[in-house]
Structure 1
Amino acid sequence: MSDAAPPRSASAAVLVPFGIVTLIWGSTWIVIRDQLGVVPASWSVTYRFVIAGVTMLAWAAMRGDRFALDRRGWLFAAGLGLAQFCLNFNFVYRAELHITSGLVALMYALLIVPNAVLARVFLGQRMGGQLLVGSGIALCGVALLFLHEARVRPESGSEVLLGLGIALAGVFAASAANVMQATPTARAYPMVPVLGIAMLIGATIDAAYAGATVGAPVFDWRWSYVAGLFYLGIIASAVAFTLYFGLIRVIGPAKAAYNGVIVPVIAMLLSTLFEGYRWSLLAGAGAALALVGLVVALKARRPNR
């Protein structure tokens, strides 16, 4: 019998936060859809990360974390704020103006590809055979889910291509931020206050962009919009990003991105409950393959550099 320790990604310390993040982000697509309409997307993103940033800094103060950053720390926070909390989310919200939330979620399932490539280029992290097999299985599942969406919603033309292009730009922005969290620079600073500062920097850029492109702030006082805003700011941002970026530091960007493979499945399950989503054989097979790929990948040992 082997005395080798199990891979860290198969431990409860990883699986529990991984599951929480996946469940949270699987629910956000429906909430984001309700955020669109009265309030321009850029202002909704701004409000979300003001709430998230203030929450993170309040939590950091309660924990007694240090807030002082040197020049490198401020540059890191600014880069993270721009990539993750400005570009990524502006692209997400705008993509949902052109295509269904399900298609946007499926585009983000592809995050495992740029995460793995960028981790190899900038961090020297290799995927290994088992992780490649798991990725291949999962991407086959994603392909079947795409095919299902194309059959049940056979829209075509420039509108769909524009939406997919916007979502893909968001995927690359998110991937850059993911890899930043696995660098030695990220580990040199306390994560909670840095995330809070990055969120507020991102919100500031969002507000400047919103003011320049759509004008003065607009707000929607419907209870569903306000409740959704606090859910997205506190639960889906402050809580989820703390857990997710913590996972990246433990298991690397490639494996952590597997939550994006399962998020569309969770979104479809929730849509079944609340929106009357109807499953097909293709959708069921795609979801099953995504789950199998996840299990295979998370059981893989992290290869040496």
Structure 2
Amino acid sequence: MNNYLLFLITLFCWSPTWYLIKFQLGYVDPLVSVFYRFLIAAIIIFIYLMIKKKNLKFSINYHIWFLFFGTCLYSINYVFFYLSNTYLISAFPAIVFSTVVIMNILGEAFYFNKKPSLKTLIGATIGMIGIIIIFNDEIFNFSLVKGTHIGLFLALIGTFCASTGNMVHQRNLNNKFPSLQTIAYAMLYGSLFTFLITQIRGAELLFEYSFSYITSLLYLSIFGSIFAFISYLKLLEKVGPGRAGYVGVVMPVLALIISTIFEKLEWQIDLIIGLPILIIGAILVIHQKIKDN
């Protein structure tokens, strides 16, 4: 499939998810909703694989890496982002997630010895300046009374977990792991790991039968998980984590538009100044990766 098409599918499937997560918060514990989301996605992919009679038998070593991948990308990552959404307007976690492109570059350098160039480091620095401008109030006027700094911190942890998952997937690709089976098992293990966390926290296994909860859950499971992740990870396979991370740069713009329409987000001066700086920094990073490849 064409790289641009993979990019667009990922972008337009993922962008609304930051807003739709809001409909998963309330009656059902957020972590239980994460469990439902990826369990449904895993079941659908397994049904497809069985219909296509694909191999589903793998060694213990494979399953260990499936578990590691799923725990990072389909469990802990989303646990932190769902919790972050309880403190921040939906577009702000998406803005924080844009730093995944910088984390991916640094991760490639650390895990695969792909050293970043000076331009990459400059771009990463500019991107961080953009984040600091956007969240300057939370950073420089830290107060336990406010909850936004907590949301920012949770989103950063979630982004780091997502980037780590990207690195694990790159490692699996380098070792010729079958992509779709890897995603299916990873989502299954990720959902079960999240379920384990819910039980440790003592969360009740509730379900909300409202139209908004069910429809948002189905969208998040089918489009936000299956279509988005298959497209994104295929893109990562073809162009590498750094360039695939460009999705995370463009996505906040669409997420901000959605928040402006549905959540009446008011664009303050720090957001107006900081977002373009963040995008410029990330583009410098991505452009360097394009030249490296």
Question: Shorter chain as normaliser: what TM range?
Answer: 0.7 to 0.9
Could you tell me the percent identity over the aligned residues?
Answer: 25
Task: Classify the secondary structure of the residue corresponding to 1:97.
Answer: coil
Change (3 A) 1:299 1:161: closer
Letter in 2 for 1:172: F
- 2:127 maps to 1:160: no
- Give 5+ residue unaligned stretches, structure 2: none
- 2:223 maps to 1:242: no
Change (3 A) 1:236 1:253: same
Q: Kindly state the Cα deviation for residue 193 of structure 1 after the two structures are TM-superposed.
A: 1.5
Q: 1:98 aligns with which of 68, 87, 97?
A: 87
Task: Classify the secondary structure of the residue corresponding to 2:241.
Answer: helix
Letter in 2 for 1:209: I
Q: Kindly state the Cα deviation for residue 24 of structure 1 after the two structures are TM-superposed.
A: 2.3
Q: Kindly state the Cα deviation for residue 242 of structure 1 after the two structures are TM-superposed.
A: 0.9
Q: 2:176 aligns with which of 188, 211, 225?
A: 188
* Contact 2:10 2:231 (C-alpha < 8 Å) held by counterparts: yes
Change (3 A) 1:142 1:23: farther
Q: Kindly state the Cα deviation for residue 203 of structure 1 after the two structures are TM-superposed.
A: 1.1
- 2:209 maps to 1:231: no
* Contact 2:22 2:90 (C-alpha < 8 Å) held by counterparts: yes
Q: 2:56 aligns with which of 67, 70, 79?
A: 67
Change (3 A) 1:108 1:239: same
Change (3 A) 1:131 1:255: farther
TM-score by length of 2: 0.87
Give me the whole-angstrom Cα distance separating, in 1, the residues matched to 2:91 and 2:34: 19
- CA-based RMSD: 2.7
Change (3 A) 1:99 1:39: same
Q: Kindly state the Cα deviation for residue 48 of structure 1 after the two structures are TM-superposed.
A: 0.2
TM-score by length of 1: 0.84
Q: Kindly state the Cα deviation for residue 109 of structure 1 after the two structures are TM-superposed.
A: 1.8
Q: Kindly state the Cα deviation for residue 185 of structure 1 after the two structures are TM-superposed.
A: 5.3
Give me the whole-angstrom Cα distance separating, in 2, the residues matched to 1:168 and 1:291: 17
- 2:266 maps to 1:278: yes
Other-structure match for 1:202: 190
Q: Kindly state the Cα deviation for residue 217 of structure 1 after the two structures are TM-superposed.
A: 0.9
Q: Kindly state the Cα deviation for residue 143 of structure 1 after the two structures are TM-superposed.
A: 4.1
Other-structure match for 1:7: none
Task: Classify the secondary structure of the residue corresponding to 1:182.
Answer: helix
Give me the whole-angstrom Cα distance separating, in 2, the residues matched to 1:140 and 1:288: 11
- 2:36 maps to 1:47: yes
Aligned length: 290
Give me the whole-angstrom Cα distance separating, in 1, the residues matched to 2:267 and 2:126: 20
Deviates more, 1:167-176 or 1:278-287: 278-287
Letter in 2 for 1:125: K
CA shift digits 1:123-155 (9 cap, x unpaired)? 1223335544554554444444435x86xxx99
Deviates more, 1:64-73 or 1:194-203: 64-73
* Contact 2:242 2:286 (C-alpha < 8 Å) held by counterparts: no
Change (3 A) 1:95 1:283: closer
